[in-house]
């Protein structure tokens, strides 16, 4: 069910918050979406729902890198398999809702399929031999299989939008700074953003209304004065996303979905540099952020003979291969002799990518692209790291430029969903939701699949 | 091509102990990934771009009580202290 349907149902006394929560708690998790289900907590919250937010009486799920006080927070990693969060993330405080559980993710949100999770791989509800996407695959599968009305997640390079596209749900990544990141386990701090997975655009808007705004615990957060309320939109279609290599079926579905909009071709010439720039910057930031996992203050600890060997052994034991690979790549690009050629150059390219978007946004209100170059791939299909990294090719630019973007389902290929990405101007989420609703209404994906 | 010596040096800087087998695997993977990243060298970028334009907005530090829950998360403790191996 959607947030709207549950909210209306409770208002009309068709059912209570407790009844609906029990229904969700009793559902079987056939797709391994959850790492932890928080039955006891949910029942105690639903028995006496708070009234602090619009959605306090609605059950929800949260990605297992968003801290909830007193609940295990693993980040999909062996290092934190027994870690109990000592405080709440700001978004959890603001929602003050009914938590159904914590969802699976790639270890420390590093991946595009949940296959790097220490625990298990989440299966795609549309085809259980395929991935749900990543890193927020657990959140996307939970919403797609209706194990939760909505789920919170984080997006560093596409981690909300890619699984939304693969699972046929709405994935929304707000403007960088629109939602506080306090209480989100850091991966790459200049790119990380908390957002949502929902069934409808309206629900995404509702969640955003509740969780957005300035928080003194995150110095990059902002209050939004969004006065955007246009009725007609001019849409740019960047040729770098619609190349001859794009899957023909995906292209057809996207073109059909935007038929009727005022759309024109445009260009973001530095797109080809986005993927290397993203992987250099995000791994560099990750190498610094993950230095905290030393086994001393918290997390897994393996003793060695002395201080240094304890540290080396603890981290060898704590992290899976993808996390090790990224910490080492990041360390490499920040190391003496390579800093200028890799990290510094990537930061400069990031500025050029931002300028590309500014230029296009001086002529267009929105940019529309496919969310992913493919539909959900098979579990185990992508064996080398580069082919996995290429899954993010259409989503990383948005994080580099700090823009808001939403992925909405617009069709299927052999029952596997296809997502359309709308990229908007910074802090103009209202317009973004308006256009997304127009396309959603036109395509009728959700109403025909529920 | 990145050398095995470089891979081990980076692992050391990263404070991750790796096995000789891992060294070999990472050597190959890093060489592939870095050659993919080399595309970036072709990007026309502006040397004058100011990369440190963001101002830090910091709140004042405030003294607050911390809960015992934080200490409980440490694997080795002695009384109210976190215990570590001798550093020097």
Residue that is written with structure tokens 């209100």 in the block: A365
Which residues in chain B touch residue A302, judged by CB atoms under 8 angstroms apart?
none
* Pairing state between β A234-238 and A262-266: parallel
Considering the domain boundaries, does residue A122 fall inside one? yes
Considering the domain boundaries, does residue B27 fall inside one? yes
pLDDT band at A63 (very low <50, low <70, confident <90, very high): very high
Decide if A27 is catalytic: no
- pLDDT digits 0-9 by tens, A4-23: 999 999 999 999 999 999 99
* φ/ψ of residue A129, rounded to 5: -90, -5
Judged by CB atoms closer than 8 Å, whether chains meet at A310 and B85 is answered as yes
- pLDDT digits 0-9 by tens, A346-379: 999 999 999 999 999 999 999 999 999 999 999 9
pLDDT (0 to 100) of residue B53: 63
- pLDDT digits 0-9 by tens, A303-338: 888 989 999 999 999 999 999 999 999 999 999 999
CA distances, A342 to each of A279, A331, A345, A358, A406 (Å): 10, 11, 5, 24, 30
Considering the domain boundaries, does residue A40 fall inside one? yes
Distance CA A376, CA A169 (A): 13
pLDDT band at A263 (very low <50, low <70, confident <90, very high): very high
Q: Please tell me the least confidently modeled range out of A72-76, A145-149, A336-340, A416-420.
A: A336-340
Judged by CB atoms closer than 8 Å, whether chains meet at B46 and A276 is answered as no
> Does residue A88 register a pLDDT over 90?
yes
Nearest to B33 among A294, A309, A385 (CB): A385
Distance from CA of A352 to the nearest CA of B (A): 7
pLDDT (0 to 100) of residue A61: 98
The pLDDT of A99-112, averaged and rounded, is 98
Considering the domain boundaries, does residue B18 fall inside one? yes
Structural domain containing residue B28: 1-41
> DSSP per residue over A394-442, as a string?
TTHHHHHHT--EEEEEEEEETTEEEEEEEE--TT-HHHHHHHHHHHHHH
Question: How many CB atoms within 10 Å of residue A283?
Answer: 26
Considering the domain boundaries, does residue A252 fall inside one? no
Angle at B27 between CA A277 and CA A136, to 5 degrees: 50
| Residue A80: CA count within 13 A, CB half-sphere | 22
Considering the domain boundaries, does residue A299 fall inside one? no
CATH number for the domain spanning A125: value is: 3.90.1300.10
Q: Are A376 and A416 in contact (CB under 8 A)?
A: yes
pLDDT (0 to 100) of residue B54: 64
Considering the domain boundaries, does residue A373 fall inside one? yes
Contacts 24+ apart (CB under 8 A), A298-304: A298/A80, A298/A83, A298/B73, A298/B74, A298/B75, A299/A79, A299/A80, A299/A83, A299/B73, A300/A78, A300/A79, A300/A80, A300/A81, A300/A82, A301/B75, A301/B76, A304/B85
Distance CA B70, CA B31 (A): 41
Judged by CB atoms closer than 8 Å, whether chains meet at B74 and A298 is answered as yes
Question: How many CB atoms within 10 Å of residue A358?
Answer: 11
Which residues in chain B touch residue A329, judged by CB atoms under 8 angstroms apart?
30, 33
Considering the domain boundaries, does residue B53 fall inside one? no
Considering the domain boundaries, does residue B17 fall inside one? yes
Note the Cα B29 to chain centre separation in Å.
Answer: 19
Length, in residues, of chain A: 450
Considering the domain boundaries, does residue B48 fall inside one? no
Judged by CB atoms closer than 8 Å, whether chains meet at A385 and B29 is answered as yes
Considering the domain boundaries, does residue A251 fall inside one? no
* φ/ψ of residue A218, rounded to 5: -130, 105
Decide if A72 is catalytic: no
Structural domain containing residue A55: 3-232+365-449
Q: Which of A284, A273, A415, A283 is nearest to A351 (CA)?
A: A273
Distance CA A270, CA B87 (A): 48
pLDDT (0 to 100) of residue B59: 80
Considering the domain boundaries, does residue A108 fall inside one? yes
Total tally of structural domains belonging to chain A: 1
Total tally of structural domains belonging to chain B: 1
Judged by CB atoms closer than 8 Å, whether chains meet at B49 and A351 is answered as yes
Considering the domain boundaries, does residue B81 fall inside one? no
Q: Which residue of B has its CA nearest to A291?
A: B14
Q: Which residues of chain B have pLDDT under 50?
A: none
**Catalytic residue, candidates A7, A17, A53, A63:** A63
CATH number for the domain spanning B5: value is: 1.10.20
Considering the domain boundaries, does residue B12 fall inside one? yes
Considering the domain boundaries, does residue A258 fall inside one? no
Considering the domain boundaries, does residue B14 fall inside one? yes
Which residues in chain A touch residue B51, judged by CB atoms under 8 angstroms apart?
344, 347-348, 351
- pLDDT digits 0-9 by tens, A160-208: 999 999 999 999 999 999 999 999 999 999 999 999 999 999 999 999 9
CA distances, A442 to each of A124, A259, A433, A435, A445 (Å): 25, 10, 14, 11, 9
DSSP A245: T
């Amino acid at each position: 069910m959607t947030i709207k349907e549950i909210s209306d149902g409770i208002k009309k006394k068709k059912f209570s918050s407790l009844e609906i929560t029990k229904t969700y708690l009793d559902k079987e998790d056939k797709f391994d979406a959850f790492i932890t289900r928080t039955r006891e907590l949910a029942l105690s919250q639903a028995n006496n729902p708070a009234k602090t937010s619009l959605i306090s009486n609605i059950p929800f799920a949260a990605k297992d890198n968003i801290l909830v006080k007193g609940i295990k927070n693993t980040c999909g990693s062996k290092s934190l398999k027994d870690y109990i969060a000592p405080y709440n993330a700001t978004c959890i405080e603001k929602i003050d809702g009914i938590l159904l559980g914590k969802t699976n993710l790639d270890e420390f949100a590093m991946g595009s399929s949940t296959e790097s999770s220490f625990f298990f791989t989440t299966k795609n509800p549309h085809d259980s031999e395929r991935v749900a996407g990543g890193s927020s695959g657990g959140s996307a599968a939970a919403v797609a299989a209706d194990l939760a009305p909505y789920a919170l997640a984080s997006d560093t390079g596409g981690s909300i939008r890619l699984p939304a596209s693969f699972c046929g749900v709405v994935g929304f990544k707000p403007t960088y700074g629109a939602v506080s990141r306090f209480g989100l386990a850091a991966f790459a701090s200049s790119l990380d953003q908390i957002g949502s997975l929902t069934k409808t655009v309206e629900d995404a808007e509702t969640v955003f209304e509740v969780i957005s705004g300035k928080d003194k615990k995150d110095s990059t957060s902002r209050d939004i004065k969004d006065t955007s309320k246009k009725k007609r939109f001019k849409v740019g279609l960047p040729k770098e996303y619609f190349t001859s290599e794009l899957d023909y079926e995906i292209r057809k579905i996207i073109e059909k979905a935007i038929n009727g909009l005022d759309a024109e071709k445009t260009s973001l010439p530095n797109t080809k540099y986005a993927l290397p720039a993203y992987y250099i910057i995000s791994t560099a930031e990750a190498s610094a952020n993950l230095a905290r996992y030393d086994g001393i203050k918290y997390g897994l600890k393996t003793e060695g003979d002395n201080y240094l060997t304890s540290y080396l052994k603890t981290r060898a034991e704590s992290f899976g291969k993808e996390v090790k690979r990224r910490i080492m790549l990041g360390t490499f690009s920040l190391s003496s002799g390579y800093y200028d050629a890799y990290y510094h150059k990537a930061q400069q390219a990031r500025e050029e990518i931002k300028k590309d978007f500014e230029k296009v946004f001086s002529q267009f209100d929105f940019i529309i692209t496919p969310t992913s170059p493919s539909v959900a791939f098979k579990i185990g299909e992508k064996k080398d790291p580069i082919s996995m990294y290429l899954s993010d090719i259409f989503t990383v630019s948005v994080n580099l430029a700090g823009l808001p973007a939403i992925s909405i389902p617009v069709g299927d290929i052999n029952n596997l969903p296809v997502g359309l990405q709308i990229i908007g101007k910074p802090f103009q989420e209202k317009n973004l939701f308006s256009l997304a609703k127009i396309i959603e209404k036109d395509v009728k994906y959700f109403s025909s699949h529920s | 091509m990145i050398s095995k010596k470089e891979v081990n040096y980076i692992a050391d800087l990263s404070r991750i102990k790796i096995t000789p087998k891992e060294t070999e695997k990472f050597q190959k993977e890093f060489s592939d990934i870095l050659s993919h990243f080399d595309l970036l060298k072709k990007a026309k970028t502006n040397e004058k771009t100011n990369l440190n334009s963001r101002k830090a907005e910091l709140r004042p530090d405030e003294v607050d009580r911390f809960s015992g829950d934080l200490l409980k998360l440490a694997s080795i403790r002695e009384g109210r202290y976190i215990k570590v191996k001798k550093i020097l």
